[in-house]
Structure 1
Amino acid sequence: MPDAFLKPARFSDAEWHARVQLAACYRIFAHLGWAELIYNHISLRVPGQKQPPLPGASHRSPPEGGGSSWERPGDEPDHFLINPFGLHYTEVTASNLVKVDVDGNIIGNDDWPINPAGFTFHGAIHATLPDAHCVMHVHTTPTMAVCCSEEGLSYTNFYAAQLYGQVAYHDFEGITVHRDEGARVLASAGGKRVLLLRNHGPVIIGHTLAQAFSLMWLVQRASEIQVASAPLGKLRQIPVPVLEGCVRDSLNFNPKFGAGEDSFAAMQRLIDRIDPGYRA
């Protein structure tokens, strides 16, 4: 491994692993076209130690440095990593990610600020839900289109079917820079992992970085199909028992298949082939 990619002494092994995974995620988002100039956010709890996969998991060990950890709160349960405000996702690296507390205060002597709109609801979610280790927010065209529609997400396609009963909504209040909105966003989520901010965009709440990524993938693909299907007129409905079966059988939630770990690891390997500089 190049010296530039070695762990700096100021970071613990667990924090450095989380930083590498989160930086990889930002590059993955950019590769998929999910970036929004210097805006939007993915935040990740700083773990104290790596935990093994869930019982019964058959997840295969990734290549050295690949895959993602099963993040759990440990030595730093109230510290989180987020992107530096001013950098494009392709410029985010493991070492320049900013560490903050639940109030958005920067921990340490970081060279970059954070976007105040970025941690308004992220902080409230992380602070209130102990298993909310990763929170994602994007402004992709199809997901915003669905958030702007009166109906919201339509459970009429393969991807949306896997999200049945998993989606909540929050009415638009403007730009999310007011701290008191964080509590209302959390109340609107009501324990669901996918929250669609009306007229705005999706918020994903994950037990792990990989799970959050898998949920974001489902929301993005479901929205793409819904928008593409709109000109066709009335869409064929999926019976509720079938929708419930899709949620139950989805590999994105199944620990026997890594609950998204394998998918994230595959995308990280792709990014490593394209631009491993995120590891710096």
Structure 2
Amino acid sequence: MSAQTISTALPADMDASEWETRVKLAACYRMVAKLGMDDLIYNHISARVPGHEDQFLINPYGLLFNEITASSLVKIDTEGRKLQETPYEVNLAAFVIHAAIHKTSHDAACVLHTHSDASVAVSGQQDGLLPLSQFAMRFYQRQAFHDYEGVAIDLDEQERLVRDLGPHKVMLMRNHGILTVGRTPGEAFMLLYYFERAAKIQLAMQAACASGVKLVIPPHEVNERAARQFWEQHGDILIAGEREWPALMRQLDREDPSYRQ
């Protein structure tokens, strides 16, 4: 079945903006799985329903990321109530984490949380991600930290999650994983992608130190300049995902457009 055929299947009881968000969110799940950054049926990515600050879409608990489709996503509100008929439940930790961010941040159109290997490894390091590569410079002094409190199933953790995230778009959840916040699923995904690349490079460099190699860390002024270039879109730099995400969706459409169902 072609991507074009699948993409026209707009449910009669749903407006086009919600369906478009569902398609992009389902694509985000598929891309995380494609790059091996998923964790079986665990982890979660959410997207706010357009025009509804208190509603968001999230994965059905029990499906692998590469099984998720636009129509299978579950719509809930920030109080945890399901807003559609569905046989699926929502992971409690997913509700606690995502509802907290969607409630308090207007720009949090998409919230992504994974246990991607390199990000978890870096989350257990005191200084988190170090400015050891151009990938890492984007996050220089722009990463938040949230201390591990156990599985995130207690509502009182929401306040601390929001406090620790602050104005940042990336937060290392200590000894646990990473959380990214985007204005689109594409931005949230690309922030994860670049952070994971940077974390892998950091771990490789740190491993090389066992043989006596010394790390080179650029000075603060250079790191800050590079970070500003990324976040303030200097030159021809765009917001993360604006160029990359359409290309990644085209790739998905060529390989397996079933996420659009």
- Taking structure 2 as the reference length, what is the TM-score of the superposition? 0.92
CA distance in 1, matches of 2:199, 2:219: 19
| Residue 85 of structure 1: aligned partner | 61
Gaps of 5+ in 2: none
Distance 1:220 1:16 in 2: 29
Asked if 2 retains the 8 angstrom alpha-carbon contact of 1:121 and 1:183, the reply is no
**Partner of residue 243 from structure 1, selected from 185, 199, 223:** 223
1:35-46 superposed matches below 5 A: 35-46=38-49
Greater mean deviation of Cα atoms: 4-13 or 168-177:
4-13
Counterpart code for 1:212: A
2:227 is equivalent to residue 264 of structure 1: no
- Written as runs of structure 1 = structure 2, the 5 A alignment for 1:57-206 is 74=51, 76-206=52-182
Distance 1:257 1:38, change over 3 A: same
The residue that corresponds to 1:23 in the other structure is: 26
In the TM superposition, residue 213 of structure 1 has moved relative to its aligned partner by 1.6
1:116 is displaced (CA, Å) by: 0.5
Instruction: State whether residues 125 and 132 of structure 1, in contact with CA within 8 Å, keep that contact through their aligned partners in structure 2.
Output: yes
Work out the CA distance in 1 between the residues paired with 2:221 and 2:207: 27
CA, structure 1 residues 258+110, in 2 after alignment: closer, same or farther (shift >3 Å)? farther
What SS class does the counterpart of residue 202 from structure 1 fall into? strand
Contact 1:45 1:134 in 2 (8 A): yes
Give the deviation of 1:32 after TM superposition: 0.6
Q: Deviations over 1:49-81 (max 9, x none)?
A: xxxxxxxxxxxxxxxxxxxxxxxxx2x221100
Contact 1:211 1:253 in 2 (8 A): no
Q: Find out whether 1:275 has 2:251 as its counterpart.
A: no
Query: 1:218 aligned to 2:194?
Result: yes
Q: Which letter does structure 2 place at the counterpart of 1:267? A: L
In the alignment, residue 14 of structure 2 is paired with which amino acid? F
Q: Distance in 1 between matches of 2:17 and 2:135?
A: 33
Question: How many angstroms apart in 2 are the aligned matches of 1:258 and 1:274?
Answer: 27
Task: Give the distance between the partners of 2:89 and 2:178, measured in 1 at CA.
Answer: 24
SS at 2:226's partner residue? helix
What displacement does 1:2 show? Answer: 2.3
Q: Distance in 2 between matches of 1:151 and 1:127?
A: 29
For residues 238 and 100 of structure 1, what CA distance do their matches in structure 2 show? 45
Amino acid at match of 1:229: M
- Report the Cα distance in structure 2 between the residues aligned to 1:167 and 1:79, rounded to whole angstroms: 27
Aligned length: 252
In the TM superposition, residue 258 of structure 1 has moved relative to its aligned partner by: 4.4
Over 3 Å counting, the alpha-carbon distance change for 1:257 and 1:161 in structure 2 is closer
Q: Distance in 1 between matches of 2:14 and 2:22?
A: 9
Corresponding position: 1:7 with 2:7: no
CA apart distance, 1:109: 0.8
**CA shift for structure 1 position 132:** 1.1
Which amino acid in structure 2 is aligned with residue 131 of structure 1? Answer: D
Give the partner amino acid of 1:18: T
Q: Distance in 1 between matches of 2:116 and 2:87?
A: 28
- Please report how far the alpha carbon of residue 273 of structure 1 lies from its aligned counterpart in structure 2 after TM superposition: 1.0
Cα displacement (A) at 1:151 = 2.9
After superposing on structure 2, the runs of 4+ consecutive aligned residues of structure 1 that deviate more than 6 Å are: none
